[in-house]
Structure 1
């Protein structure tokens, strides 16, 4: 199957400094949900904006459905972009905001409003048609912005940190909504986020970026089970990255325990922190050489044999749970 989006050696430079995006190549399968993630300044937003046509490409090519769009303006690409700020028109109702893209394309008033009403129902806001943006909650404004982007029936929807302004409860709700819409519409979503949990929850393909390059691109479970480097293991979270006589490796914190298993590996030291997280308790141990490791223990297991900061403790894990890392990764 031909990918919906293909980047071939794409580079973006601003001035004379290091490249913001440095020769990346990526194929995003048709109808998939792809998340670009990484720390601030890693190049993820520049990559999204180049796909949209809002930034020029310094080198390389961008293909959408096999068509080279590198030099095309945004309106000619078959993409739509949902911005972090939502950018709703304050003087237009929710219905009119959604219909605006069709208005710009010359669609008659009756038809565009009818289609806008259909997309309001799609995002479960049918009763909010006459409200102005100021009369909507943050989550409702986001749904309006989403419907406005979708009404032009793009082949690819581009989302720039769309959940960052929402509270945690609403963020979880909107994650579910985004995934539902992507499945129902069957179009490719490319979503920029710095949230590891968000990327894991949403993506079919997660692309971890670092310093303008792709550190790993794979399904989220593969990234979590087999991080390609120490950077990926640390950034994605939930891993200890350790240097022991056998080499460097990553081991998941939920596979680490306070009692070394027979035949397994271990790290002895002193408890540096204990953090209660409800269903689990996080225990951090610092070894004499300065390395730290943590275990994420089920609440009941921890309280059956609790430890406190300052006490001696040994963390252990089964040998098969240690994922080897390249010494230079």
Structure 2
């Protein structure tokens, strides 16, 4: 199995009939990185993935894989492979023949392509299902077959287009752990498009948050969650209060605030009051939302034991408080 390759996007732009979908983005993704591109629908993440794959022509800029500018190269020459959201398995072919299909298109002998397909099926623990049809498999099993098919050509970069979106929540959690394990074992670069913040946080070494065709912030999940660069990133990632404080826009993580019934009784330096609009019990924690007196939404994530020692209900008066050390100042959006 080949190891990963560095990927660099240099001022890459994509326009459709005058509408800019990707706007001069530049980023370097080191070999062997699990990178998640995330953002809301229409932010440009899928267009970026398709340009890397060679399924979309770039309008301007360069895509560099390893030491090669690949702008004009077809997908088969780039050393990339794509795993699609729908898995796109051929219903009339066996699991083994689905995995081997791209090798057949490249002219490999039946014996060679089946040998290679069987190696990939062993990797994803699907050997017992080699002779079955896709319709005889569960959603998680189909995903493993799609992954094996993507890896059979020995790519240096695997591109994944929302590969977990069709799975139920329990299976999604299990399969994302498997994706991370496969990426570590193979050592190749994974670039994974998702609109799920939790998914990106769980998987990524490098998370790239996009908005309106631009990169708002790139960094480790911890950096992005703990120190969002812009108000958009803070709101998109969730779990933050965005507050006007002394003429500045700041964030305070919702798990860093205290919750009380009255602003004057809060033991913290900074406070905001409001009316409780919702209380959501989530097991270890309780999420309390307030409509602030200044019309801003306020959020507190409180340990279960702390909340039930002094609970509040929707419609009640409450306040949140925080210390100066928990304030993070925001920059303007990209």
TM-score range, shorter chain: over 0.9
| Alignment match, 2:160 | 159
| Alignment match, 1:173 | 174
Give SS of 2:121's match. helix
The answer to whether residue 133 in structure 2 is matched with residue 132 in structure 1 is yes
Give SS of 1:209's match. strand
| Alignment match, 1:105 | 106
Give SS of 1:9's match. strand
User: 4+ residue stretches of structure 1 with deviation over 3 A?
Assistant: 259-263
Give SS of 1:20's match. strand
The answer to whether residue 329 in structure 2 is matched with residue 324 in structure 1 is yes
The answer to whether residue 228 in structure 2 is matched with residue 227 in structure 1 is yes
- State how 1:1-329 maps to structure 2 within 5 Å: 4-17=6-19, 19-245=20-246, 247-259=248-260, 262-326=267-331
Give SS of 2:259's match. coil
2:84–2:162 CA contact under 8 A, matched in 1: yes
Gaps of 5+ in 2: none
Offset at residue 244 of structure 1 (A): 2.6
Offset at residue 328 of structure 1 (A): 6.1
Offset at residue 246 of structure 1 (A): 5.3
1:3–1:27 CA contact under 8 A, matched in 2: no
Q: CA 1:104–1:284 in 2, change beyond 3 Å: closer, same or farther?
A: same
- Separation of aligned partners in 2, 1:223 and 1:141: 32
Q: CA 1:274–1:263 in 2, change beyond 3 Å: closer, same or farther?
A: closer
Offset at residue 262 of structure 1 (A): 3.7
- Aligned residue pairs total 327
1:261–1:318 CA contact under 8 A, matched in 2: no
2:5–2:156 CA contact under 8 A, matched in 1: no
- Cα deviation 1:93-140 (Å, max 9, x = unaligned): 111111111111222211211221111111111111111001011111
1:268–1:313 CA contact under 8 A, matched in 2: yes
- Separation of aligned partners in 2, 1:284 and 1:155: 45
Gaps of 5+ in 1: none
- Cα deviation 1:195-240 (Å, max 9, x = unaligned): 0000000000000000000000111110011100000000011111
CA RMSD of aligned residues (A): 1.4
1:286–1:292 CA contact under 8 A, matched in 2: yes
- Separation of aligned partners in 2, 1:291 and 1:315: 12
Give SS of 2:207's match. strand
Give SS of 1:278's match. coil
2:230–2:332 CA contact under 8 A, matched in 1: no
Give SS of 2:9's match. strand
Give SS of 2:209's match. strand
The TM-score normalised by the length of structure 1 is 0.96
Give SS of 1:309's match. coil
- Cα deviation 1:175-214 (Å, max 9, x = unaligned): 0110000000000000000000000000000000000000
- Cα deviation 1:299-321 (Å, max 9, x = unaligned): 11100110111111110112111
1:52–1:74 CA contact under 8 A, matched in 2: yes
Offset at residue 263 of structure 1 (A): 4.6
